[in-house]
């Protein structure tokens, strides 16, 4: 028997009707002879609603209590879904993250999974139940506090459970048909990627593609879990994220939307396509530290300060200052949410490091083109800059990896930049406009 882990995002279980629809789909899978573990997110936008509620009673809710509150969202959907399944005549049992054996560290709001001990899930399956697990949550190893894994964390729960149970596939059901060459809400001519490797998917996720959380892809790669991202609103084959062939039992069958011809077409495309997709990110801000003494140790002092506040720095640029000889300006990007914290920390070391002042800019956008084919193709970068210049997009910062080029632009022209890059790499498709079924992209 194959083990299938299926994760349903908030937009797939937004209301009673959706829950019933999802329950039907789960029951079909169970009746096809699979052992089914389901991971659910909170219904619709209820996590946001809970955050709003917390903020109404306290501007800075204690992290432990906020986590306790937020895990309630997933508890509601898991129980309701189990009821809907029971109503269809299959037996289901729901489990909190803690009951499912999701053990984490104790960083409230962004806990990391350190172990998964799915004994109770395994025995529920052995007894013939569909096991439903609340996503996005766990229990800390030492103090046994309830934790959450960070926004969008249910994907990671699903992959972690799939790894621990040695599942054949982890299906991530969302409100789009899979991973697209760009966000279909911005680029209507974007098309679905049929297959993508872990490394490219990690770069896409790290660059702002929201369909999968970065940590979930890292996890999938580490444990070689094949991930199938697909829509809960259609029967179409979605995107397979894997470095191996698609497991036999789950290959597209006749009658599904990806006939053999489409598959072989993909194979030939895989050789040609240098760029897999264009990702964008509006969630970062730019900090510029003006007038840093140009002597060894200053960059170290700055980035140690950021590290000590647990802020993840993304792009870094250092420039000779135009203001004074012997001084340099250092710019970097960071999550906008960490902006205030970063400014505070920098202010505290201003005199000891000896810089002039700090500028903060949250009106930036980042565009990234990702493709494993870049490694062996010179000239890929030039195509991007040519396209951006034609679209009158001014570039502020640039960074690259082996398989990615990222640029920072003004936020208000980011959409134009994404469309220009997508077209320049020949990714626009003429047919099949991308379908967006829900509203949230989760
Ligand atoms: N409900 C949580 C969130 O909205 C977790 C998830 O959806 O994966 O972030
Ligand atoms: Mg959600």
The kind and range of the H/E element at 198 are helix 198-206
Q: Ligand 2 center to residue 297 CA distance, Å?
A: 42
Last residue of a domain, one of 227, 249, 266: 266
In this structure, which ligand is nearest to the CA of 150?
1
Of 168, 415, 173, nearest in space to 280 by CA: 415
Q: Please tell me whether 211 is known to bind a ligand.
A: yes
Looking at the domain assignment, is residue 439 inside a domain? no
Looking at the domain assignment, is residue 229 inside a domain? yes
Q: Please tell me whether 442 is known to bind a ligand.
A: no
Q: Please tell me whether 10 is known to bind a ligand.
A: yes
pLDDT single digits (tens) 58-94: 999 999 999 999 999 999 999 999 999 999 999 999 9
pLDDT single digits (tens) 222-258: 999 999 999 998 999 999 999 999 888 888 765 444 4
Whole-Å CA distances, 114 to 39, 105, 121, 157, 218: 18, 7, 18, 12, 14
Strands 284-293 and 327-335: antiparallel
CATH of the domain at 323: 3.30.2130.10
User: How buried is residue 68: exposed, middle or buried, by Cβ count under 10 Å (0-12/13-18/19+)?
Assistant: middle
pLDDT single digits (tens) 113-156: 999 999 999 999 999 999 999 999 999 999 999 999 999 999 99
Atom of ligand 1 at shortest range from CA of 45 = 4
Same domain, residue pair 104 and 40: yes
| Confidence (pLDDT) at 200 | 96
Which of 408-440 are b and which e, b meaning 16 or more Cβ less than 10 Å from the residue's Cβ? bbebebbbebbbbbbbbbebbbeeeebebebee
Q: How many whole angstroms separate alpha carbon 246 and alpha carbon 98?
A: 31
Looking at the domain assignment, is residue 430 inside a domain? no
Of 98, 94, 95, nearest in space to 139 by CA: 98
pLDDT band at 325 (very low <50, low <70, confident <90, very high): confident
Provide the domain count of the chain.
2
The kind and range of the H/E element at 408 are strand 404-410
Please, what sign has the CA dihedral across residues 436, 437, 441, 442? negative
Same domain, residue pair 260 and 194: yes
Q: Is the pLDDT of residue 264 over 80?
A: no
135 pocket-lining for ligand 1 (C-beta < 6 Å)? yes
Looking at the domain assignment, is residue 125 inside a domain? yes
Same domain, residue pair 222 and 291: no
97 pocket-lining for ligand 1 (C-beta < 6 Å)? no
CB hemisphere CA count around 265 (13 angstroms): 7
CATH of the domain at 253: 3.40.1160.10
Same domain, residue pair 177 and 44: yes
Same domain, residue pair 256 and 302: no
3 pocket-lining for ligand 1 (C-beta < 6 Å)? no
Same domain, residue pair 289 and 205: no
| Confidence (pLDDT) at 257 | 45
| Confidence (pLDDT) at 269 | 46
73 pocket-lining for ligand 1 (C-beta < 6 Å)? yes
Q: What are phi and psi for residue 31, nearest 5 degrees?
A: -75, -20
Q: How many whole angstroms separate alpha carbon 366 and alpha carbon 350?
A: 28
357 lies in which domain range? 275-424
Q: How many whole angstroms separate alpha carbon 280 and alpha carbon 414?
A: 8
Q: Ligand 1 center to residue 299 CA distance, Å?
A: 36
| Confidence (pLDDT) at 442 | 44
pLDDT single digits (tens) 366-383: 999 999 989 888 889 999
Same domain, residue pair 318 and 220: no
Q: Detail the DSSP E strand segments found in 234-385.
A: 239-241, 277-281, 284-293, 316-320, 327-335, 357-361, 364-370
Between 406 and 432, the higher pLDDT residue: 406
Mean pLDDT, all residues of the chain: 92
pLDDT single digits (tens) 418-431: 999 999 999 998 76
pLDDT band at 320 (very low <50, low <70, confident <90, very high): confident
pLDDT band at 433 (very low <50, low <70, confident <90, very high): low
| Confidence (pLDDT) at 430 | 76
Q: Ligand 2 center to residue 10 CA distance, Å?
A: 5
Same domain, residue pair 249 and 384: no
Tokens 């998964």 belong to residue: 116
Q: Is the pLDDT of residue 184 over 70?
A: yes
174 pocket-lining for ligand 1 (C-beta < 6 Å)? no
| Confidence (pLDDT) at 251 | 80
Last residue of a domain, one of 210, 240, 266: 266
DSSP string across 83-100: HHHHHTT--EEEE-TTTT
Torsion of CA 269, 270, 272, 276, to 10 degrees: 100
Looking at the domain assignment, is residue 437 inside a domain? no
Same domain, residue pair 53 and 157: yes
Same domain, residue pair 192 and 155: yes
Whole-Å CA distances, 168 to 178, 225, 247, 277, 349: 19, 8, 7, 27, 51
Whole-Å CA distances, 27 to 22, 36, 87: 9, 9, 11
In this structure, which ligand is nearest to the CA of 47?
1
Looking at the domain assignment, is residue 157 inside a domain? yes
Same domain, residue pair 253 and 279: no
10 pocket-lining for ligand 1 (C-beta < 6 Å)? yes
Same domain, residue pair 242 and 379: no
| Confidence (pLDDT) at 268 | 44
pLDDT band at 160 (very low <50, low <70, confident <90, very high): very high
pLDDT band at 324 (very low <50, low <70, confident <90, very high): confident
Last residue of a domain, one of 266, 293, 324: 266
Q: How many whole angstroms separate alpha carbon 61 and alpha carbon 248?
A: 49
In three-state secondary structure terms, 317 is strand
Of 282, 262, 95, nearest in space to 178 by CA: 262
Looking at the domain assignment, is residue 441 inside a domain? no
Looking at the domain assignment, is residue 363 inside a domain? yes
């Amino acid at each position: 028997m194959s083990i299938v882990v299926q994760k349903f995002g908030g937009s797939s279980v937004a209301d009673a009707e959706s829950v019933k629809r999802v329950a039907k789909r789960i029951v079909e899978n169970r009746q096809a002879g699979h052992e089914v573990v389901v991971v659910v997110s909170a219904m619709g936008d209820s996590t946001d609603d809970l955050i709003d509620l917390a903020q109404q009673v306290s501007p800075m809710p204690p992290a432990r209590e906020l986590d306790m509150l937020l895990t309630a969202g997933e508890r509601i959907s898991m129980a309701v879904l189990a009821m809907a399944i029971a109503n269809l005549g299959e037996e289901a049992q729901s489990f909190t993250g803690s009951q499912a054996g999701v053990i984490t560290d104790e960083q409230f709001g962004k806990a990391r999974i350190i172990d998964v001990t799915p004994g109770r899930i395994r025995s529920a399956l052995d007894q013939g139940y569909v096991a439903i697990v609340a996503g996005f949550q766990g229990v800390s190893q030492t103090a046994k506090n309830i934790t959450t894994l960070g926004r969008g964390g249910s994907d990671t729960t699903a992959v972690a459970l799939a790894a621990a149970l040695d599942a054949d596939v982890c299906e991530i059901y969302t409100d789009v048909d899979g991973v697209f060459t760009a966000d279909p809400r911005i680029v209507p001519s974007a098309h679905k990627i049929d297959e993508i490797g872990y490394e490219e998917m990690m770069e896409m996720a790290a660059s702002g593609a929201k369909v999968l959380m970065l940590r979930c892809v890292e996890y999938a790669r580490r444990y070689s879990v094949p991930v199938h991202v697909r829509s809960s609103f259609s029967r179409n084959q979605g995107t397979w994220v894997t470095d191996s062939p698609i497991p036999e039992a789950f290959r597209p069958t006749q009658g599904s939307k990806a006939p053999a011809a489409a598959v072989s077409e993909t194979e030939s495309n895989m050789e040609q396509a240098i760029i897999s997709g264009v990702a964008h990110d509006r969630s970062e801000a730019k900090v510029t530290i003006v007038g840093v003494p140009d002597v060894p140790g200053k960059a170290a002092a700055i980035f140690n300060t950021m590290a000590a506040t647990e802020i993840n720095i993304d792009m870094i640029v250092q420039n000779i200052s135009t203001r004074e000889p012997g001084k340099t300006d250092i710019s970097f990007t960071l999550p906008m949410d960490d902006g205030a914290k970063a400014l505070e920390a920098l202010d505290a070391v201003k005199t000891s490091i000896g810089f002039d002042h700090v500028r903060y800019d949250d009106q930036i956008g980042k565009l990234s083109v990702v493709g494993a084919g870049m490694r062996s193709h010179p000239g890929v970068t030039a195509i991007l800059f040519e396209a951006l210049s034609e679209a009158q997009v001014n570039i502020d910062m640039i960074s690259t990896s082996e398989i990615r080029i990222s640029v920072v632009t003004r936020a208000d022209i980011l959409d134009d930049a994404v469309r220009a890059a997508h077209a320049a790499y020949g990714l626009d498709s003429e047919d099949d406009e991308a379908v967006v079924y829900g509203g949230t992209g989760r």
